[in-house]
Copies of this chain bind each other. A is one copy, B any other.
Amino acid sequence: MGIEIERKFLVDHLPSSLTNQAGAIIRQGYVIIAEGGVELRIRQKGARFYQTIKAGEGLSRKEIEIELSEDQFHLLWPHTDGRWVSKTRYTLPVENHTAEVDRFDGDLTGLLLVEVEFASLEEASQFVPPGWFGTDVTEDHRYKNRHLAVHGIPGDKTP
């Protein structure tokens, strides 16, 4: 909950430390995708269920998350109308931060993204990505999960 400051990158190559992890299986769908970065996302992570409301875009955006019961999740899921992604999430330390690597499944197989969350905008701008990170796509809307859920893996063309 609150303001999230994070940067998102493509993954150039996976670090060897990742291969030991099982990862958490996540599926998430979008009940609402609206103007101004407004979205209502539901997510299953293992045996737990969540609803996240987002508003705003860029480095900072507002997030409101509550945990759902399994029943509530299954009532809402049909209303995602196929706008969903499935992925495995791996967590690992990068300097004094935590990086989350998402390996996508289904129509998005082959796509790998890594996100790092920061305590301040200053910290975010000073972050030096390690060698296994690829292009910074923080501001590239095509790599938002809501966009991936609808449009698939972005092509090679400039947006």
Contact = CB atoms under 8 A, between A and B. Distances in A.
Contacts of A79: 53, 64
Contact of A76 (B36, B66, B75): B66
Within the oligomer, what is the number of copies of this chain? 2
A73 to B, nearest CB: 9
B66 A53 contact: no
A34 interface: yes
Contacts of A38: 32, 34, 38
Contacts of A53: 31-32, 40, 79
Contact of A66 (B32, B34, B55, B72): B72
A56 to B, nearest CB: 12
Given A40-B53, A53-B40, A64 B76 contact: yes
B32 A55 contact: yes
B31 A34 contact: no
